[in-house]
Amino acid sequence: MSWTIERRGRVAVVTMTTNPVNAQNRAFFADLHDAFDRLERDHADSPVVLTGTGSRFSAGLDLGEHFPLFAGDTAAVASWFQEYRATNMRLFTYPRPTVAAVNGHAFAGGLITAAVCDHRVAVDDESARFGLNEVPIGIPMPAVYVRMLAYAWGEPVAARTCLRGEIFTPRQAHELGMVQELASAEELLERAVAVAGETPEDSIEPYAFTKRACQAAALRDIAELSDPLDKELAAVMSSEGARHAHRRYWQQLKGRPADW
């Protein structure tokens, strides 16, 4: 299902609706690109708010689609990763203000999608959980995402969250600087729209230039350091140890053995 785009004044609010928990799969990737194609065509000068529905922002990778992929041919994994990388790179470098209105749970790739926005407002709800659980379930964190997270959160927090797989409440995430603000569920979207609209209409191009300048070192590191390292990603993703961890987590998650 294509994502919805609703105008709130100058701001374009994009609601992710690929599936009930916004699990990230090839349909999700296609929906993201379709939404940003429409933004560029119909809302070119609009700041953007990105949000989910219900109590979930995004559950991260669709493991039912991806664990079988990771158990197969490394060339297929490498091809898939280029598609995945392109989604978050497009969001990270989008030349307009981008604000994530994190309405609920954001795990793994879902939290990365929030992190690569310029600003993050999270729901102040102690039942919501945020975390990067890739390593404990046998998924290596792509180097390109580590650089993006270091830009967004700083090196120590990026390293801690990537390596340890901890799960945080919104207030813990706020204390660590993973999100800049908290707001009640009732006020979340309104606050995210207000932040997105703070850049004056006649200052959008200066914002875009300054965003490029702020990200220049991160983009250099991605090109020179992360991309060469990520050539090893498919082999690590599909290693026997990683596949064992995938099967272990699947059994824990679903209560049944993996059939791949």
Across the beta sheet with 119-123, the strand order is 4-8, 11-15, 48-51, 98-102, 119-123, 181-183
CA 32 to chain centre: 11
- The answer to whether the Cα torsion of 238, 233, 93, 148 is positive or negative is positive
* Contacts with 151 (C-beta within 8 Å, 6 or more apart), sequence order: 215, 218
Structure-token pair, residue 152: 């967004």
Between CA 258 and CA 187 the distance in angstroms is: 42
Q: Is 83 a residue of the active site? A: no
Structure-token pair, residue 221: 């590191």
Q: How many CB atoms lie within 10 A of CB 233?
A: 20
192 close to 179: Cβ distance less than 8 angstroms? no
Structure-token pair, residue 41: 């065509």
Between CA 176 and CA 183 the distance in angstroms is: 16
**Whole-number CA gyration radius for the chain:** 18
Between CA 192 and CA 132 the distance in angstroms is: 23
Catalytic position from the list 134, 190, 198, 232: 134
Residues with a known catalytic role: 134
